[in-house]
Every structure is written in C-alpha cells, then in structure tokens.
C-alpha cells in the first residue's frame, strides 16, 4: 500500500548484492537466486530499470561465475576492437543532427553480461553471433512551444499533452533526418513513445546500416524519457502517479498468485 516500503526493500537487497562477496557460497547462491526470481522482476515492474539491470547482473555473476567472467571479457575485447568503427559512425550521426537540433547528444551503451547471456540462451547463439550487444542512444532536451497545437486538438479529439506531442515530433524528425543518410533496416522501427513498455520505458528505435555493413541499433529519447526509464515509479512523485504504479503492481500480484508463477 505504500511504495516507500518497496523502495526501501529494493535498496536493502541492492546493498546485499553489492556486498555478497563477504558471505558464504551457500548464502550467495540463496540470495542471488531470490534476487533473480523476485527482486529484479519487482524492480522492472516498478520501472526502476537501472536497479533491475544491476540486480540481474550481480545475480548472474554469483550464480554462473564462469559464464559471467567469459562474457565480461569478450565484451571488453569487442569494445576495444569496435571502438574505431563505432566512433566513426557516431561522428557521422553528429554531423547529420547537430546542425539541425540544439541540445542533443549521442552516447554508446553496452549491455550487461547477463543481458548478452540471456540473448545467447534464447536464440541458441554463441557470443559472436548475438547482435545488439550495444546500442547508440540519441538524447534530446524537450523544448515546449506554447504557440503550437497538436493534431488531436485541431480535430476536436481528446487533447494530447503538448510535451508528449513535442517529444514525439522531435524524435521522428531526428529519425527522418538520419534515414536520409543511412539505410534503414526494413521492419526495424519500434515506437515505444506511443506504446510504452510495461515498465514505462519510452523511446523511438530503429536499426541503421554502418559503413562495415552491420546494423546499428539506435534509441531516440528525450531526457525525460531517459529519466523516467531509470526512476520509474519514483520519477514523478505525485500521489496520483504513485497510486497508478501501485494499482498496476497489485493487479499483477493477484495474477501471479492465481498462476503460481514468478513476476516475469
């Protein structure tokens, strides 16, 4: 009934996982197993993506130390080997969008060993054949123009909050400018701005071809989307917003109890 209790419990579990080295191996396995089964999905359902990712990765490190060490080593090797090509791709992106948009920055994000391992398991691939080990994030600052009106307003339909409309328009504009220069992979567009993921994540995603003939995954997001993706239920600390997260989560708990399954 009070999200603060859940946040405290998650903070306590995160601290336990960060200090798991000091515990006996049997305790490590027990706590890591609980974390992977319940606490990481709990964090995900509350939109706390960074906490969810860290809990999953730490759990994987203790449950499967050999696989974790191997994938972590391979990821570092790939970062070094691909750095020049990725830097060149990012430089071209900057040349395309920086003259057109103010307050935009580009960053390369590598996924965790756990995330890569999970892809390997689900697809039956080895490390070298799994794609999406990194992605490129284009982040822009939202700038509201109060003199503009959304199409829904003009048609007399339910009004779209202006900031949301402005963010979507800017994300699609960046996408349009990039696809004028880079080849787009057919069917690769995912619009999580209009249809956020269950954990509240939003972005406009697409895959573009780099000079080496490989598809690069791009996420186009506003700073607000990135912040909300990190903080979830704690991002907008209003009574209505917190209650909405709690209602959604309580409904999920009822479904889980009926199915007698985990949160995933």
pLDDT reported for residue 262? 59
Phi-psi map region of 146: left, alpha, beta (phi>0 left; psi -120 to 50 alpha) = alpha
Please state, in angstroms and rounded to a whole number, the distance separating the CA atoms of residues 241 and 247: 10
**Do the beta carbons of residue 237 and residue 211 sit within 8 Å?**
no
How many CA within 13 A on the CB side of residue 13?
A: 27
Q: Kindly report, residue by residue over 120-173, the tens digit of the pLDDT.
A: 999 999 999 999 999 999 999 876 543 344 444 444 444 444 467 889 999 999
**Do the beta carbons of residue 137 and residue 107 sit within 8 Å?**
yes
10-residue averages of pLDDT along the chain (264 residues): 84 95 93 93 87 96 96 96 96 95 93 96 93 95 51 43 77 96 96 88 95 95 88 70 75 69 60
Residue 177 CB partners (closer than 8 Å, separation 6+): 96, 97, 100
Point out which residues pair with 7 in neighbouring strands: none
pLDDT reported for residue 91? 96
pLDDT reported for residue 175? 97
pTM exceeds 0.95 for this model: no
Q: Which of 233, 229, 211 is nearest to 220 (CA)?
A: 229
């Amino acid at each position: 009934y009070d999200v603060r209790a859940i946040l405290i419990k998650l903070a306590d579990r995160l601290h336990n996982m960060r200090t798991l080295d000091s515990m006996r191996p049997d305790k490590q396995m027990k706590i890591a197993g609980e974390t992977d089964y319940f606490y990481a999905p709990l964090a995900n359902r509350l939109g706390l993506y960074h906490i969810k990712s860290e809990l999953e990765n730490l759990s994987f490190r203790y449950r499967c130390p050999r696989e974790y060490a191997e994938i972590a080593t391979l990821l570092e090797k790939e970062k070094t080997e691909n750095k020049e090509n990725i830097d060149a791709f990012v430089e071209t992106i900057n040349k395309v969008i920086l003259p057109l948009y103010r307050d935009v920055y580009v960053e390369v994000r590598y996924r965790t060993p756990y995330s890569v391992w999970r892809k390997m398991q689900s697809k039956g691939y080895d490390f070298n054949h799994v794609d999406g080990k990194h992605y490129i994030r284009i982040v822009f600052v939202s700038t509201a123009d109060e003199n503009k009106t959304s199409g829904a307003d003009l048609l007399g339909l339910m009004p779209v909050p202006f900031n949301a409309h402005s963010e979507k328009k800017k994300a699609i504009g960046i996408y349009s400018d990039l696809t004028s220069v880079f080849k787009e992979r057919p069917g690769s567009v995912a619009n999580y701005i209009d249809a956020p993921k269950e954990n509240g994540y939003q972005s406009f995603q697409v895959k573009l071809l780099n000079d080496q003939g490989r598809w690069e995954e791009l996420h186009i997001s506003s700073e607000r989307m990135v912040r909300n993706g990190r903080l979830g239920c704690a991002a907008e600390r209003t009574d209505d917003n917190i209650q909405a997260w709690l209602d959604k989560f309580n409904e999920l708990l009822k479904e889980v109890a009926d199915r007698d399954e985990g949160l995933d």
